[in-house]
């Protein structure tokens, strides 16, 4: 780099996800319940300029820019370990770390749901947007991260629009809800009941909410957990002893408990049909072992599907989604190259700004001298001279700046041109 100018900040991303760390490591790293805002905590680390903190159930990541990435990493890891209560060695054992091109690529892959537990699931993009919105409100992002995050969102949109990566159900919970949609059409006037409040039930609830379900009932052996999940997703909590009464109102029942025996018997379902006036009842049993008596299929207007019915659909869809993911990855690579080209222009910005600042300072100085000699100028004449001199200066520096910008992607040529520009415009000296 030319004398007197610093190289642009590095982009760094560190974090853990479901592949690198168990939940007992991810949970404390999310820094829930701290008195101090995590973003402020990380920005207080030496040399960190901009920072974003992403925390979901499957990943916790810090994205930041730094003028001295090595020092910032050491400081950030130390403060993260301290505030999470984890030994530094444990934290470092599970962390992944990416810089510049690799960090950009990783972020684009995450935004496009290509690095998710279930490839193509859309939730992560909303979570990333929420994290960016919060960082913006806390004023911890600047020129680089603002542009990077907006580009990540546009890459994700392009992947979603130009591929079929999200069009096929590839999780059992998602497939269960898609099956309900095929049977009933729109879900806006339907009532769904979940039996069980574990991970699969939670995913099913999220998909039902996304599908516009009218009402959601959550039944669980531990009522406290049902209440917790219902608060998160806007449903109603009941105990397992209430499911027979609730089934009178339900159109869709999805069961996924860990119970060793049947949770819903043929007799229970049969008793509900008269008060239901034999309205269609759609049951999906995604538990192993099964929760629902297979004999309910013998009851008129009752349709039961189990996990084996869904697995075949899911596997077929996974193969199709994997093919679409390859297309999406090629899109990501193209967008990474575009962003890297923009990043290279940041190396020339200090010199361009130096040229512009020096030219403007000279213009103003000479204008001031001329005003003293000319004297008696009207306001209109002074404004005309100001416009004229500004136009002359801009025309003089226009071509050198264009040459610098055009060669920004050529590292070798940029180095030579920056040195030449610094020398020719004498940017290291005071006016």
Q: What is the pLDDT along the chain (431 residues), one digit of tens a residue?
A: 333 334 578 999 999 998 899 889 999 999 988 888 999 999 999 999 999 999 987 899 999 999 999 999 999 999 999 999 999 999 999 999 999 999 999 999 999 988 876 676 777 888 999 999 999 999 999 989 999 999 999 999 998 888 877 655 556 777 788 788 888 888 899 999 999 988 888 888 888 888 899 999 999 999 998 999 888 888 999 999 999 999 999 999 999 888 888 999 999 999 999 999 989 999 989 888 889 999 999 999 999 988 888 876 677 677 777 788 888 999 999 999 989 888 877 767 778 888 888 888 889 888 888 887 877 788 888 889 889 999 998 999 888 888 877 776 676 776 777 778 778 888 876 54
Nearest to 120 by CA among 327, 337, 336: 327
Q: Tell me whether residue 206 is one of the annotated catalytic residues.
A: no
The structural domains of the chain, with segments of one domain joined by +, span 10-162, 172-315, 349-424
pLDDT of 246: 94
Angstrom distance (rounded) from CA 353 to CA 421: 12
CATH topology classification for 10-162 = Beta Polymerase; domain 2 (3.30.460)
Helix (H) / strand (E) element for 102: namely helix 101-111
pLDDT of 150: 95
CATH number for the domain formed by residue range(s) 172-315: 3.40.50.720
- C-alpha torsion sign, points 84, 88, 91, 92: positive
Q: Are strands 281-285 and 252-255 parallel, antiparallel or unpaired?
A: parallel
pLDDT of 186: 85
Of these residues, 1, 57, 393, 420, which one is catalytic?
57
Nearest to 359 by CA among 398, 387, 385: 398
pLDDT of 198: 84
pLDDT of 5: 36
Query: Which residues 6+ apart lie within 8 Å of 112 measured at CB?
Result: 125, 155, 156, 159, 160, 165, 328, 331, 332
Angstrom distance (rounded) from CA 104 to CA 79: 24
């Amino acid at each position: 780099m030319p004398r007197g100018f610093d190289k642009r900040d590095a982009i760094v991303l560190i974090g853990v996800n479901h592949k690198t760390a168990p939940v007992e490591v991810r949970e404390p790293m999310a820094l829930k319940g701290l008195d101090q805002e995590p973003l402020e905590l990380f920005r207080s680390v030496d040399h960190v300029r901009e920072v974003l903190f992403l925390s979901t159930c499957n990943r916790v990541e810090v994205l930041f820019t730094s003028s001295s990435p090595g020092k910032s990493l050491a400081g950030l890891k130390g403060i993260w370990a301290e505030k999470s209560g984890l030994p530094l060695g444990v934290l470092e054992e599970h962390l992944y770390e990416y810089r510049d091109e690799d960090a950009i690529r990783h972020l684009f892959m995450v935004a496009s749901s290509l690095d998710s537990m279930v490839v193509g699931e859309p939730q992560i993009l909303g979570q990333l947007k929420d994290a960016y919105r919060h960082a913006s409100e806390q004023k911890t992002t600047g020129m680089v991260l603002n542009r990077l995050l907006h580009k990540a969102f546009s890459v994700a949109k392009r992947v979603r629009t130009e591929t079929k990566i999200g069009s096929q159900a590839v999780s059992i919970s998602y497939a269960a809800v898609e099956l309900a949609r095929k049977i009933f059409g729109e879900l806006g006037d339907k009532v769904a009941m979940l039996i069980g409040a574990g991970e699969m039930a939670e995913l099913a609830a999220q998909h039902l909410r996304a599908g516009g379900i009218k009402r959601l009932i959550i039944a669980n052996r531990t009522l406290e957990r049902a209440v917790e999940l219902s608060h998160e997703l806007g449903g109603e909590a009941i105990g397992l002893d209430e499911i027979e009464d609730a089934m009178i109102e339900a159109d869709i029942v999805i069961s996924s408990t860990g119970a060793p025996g049947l949770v819903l018997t043929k007799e229970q379902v049969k008793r509900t049909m008269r008060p239901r006036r034999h309205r269609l009842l759609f049951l999906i049993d995604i538990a192993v072992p099964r929760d629902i008596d297979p004999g309910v299929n013998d009851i008129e207007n009752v349709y039961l599907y189990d996990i084996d019915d869904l697995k075949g659909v899911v596997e077929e869809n996974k193969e199709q989604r994997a093919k679409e993911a390859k297309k999406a990855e090629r899109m990501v690579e193209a967008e990474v190259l575009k962003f890297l080209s923009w990043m290279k222009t940041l190396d020339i910005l200090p010199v361009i700004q130096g040229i512009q600042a020096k030219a403007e300072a000279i213009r103003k100085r000479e204008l001031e001298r001329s005003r003293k000699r000319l004297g008696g100028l009207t306001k209109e004449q002074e404004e005309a001279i100001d416009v004229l001199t500004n136009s002359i200066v801009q025309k003089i520096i226009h071509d050198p700046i264009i040459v610098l910008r055009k060669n920004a992607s050529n590292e070798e040529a940029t180095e030579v041109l920056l040195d030449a520009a610094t020398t020719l415009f004498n940017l290291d000296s005071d006016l």
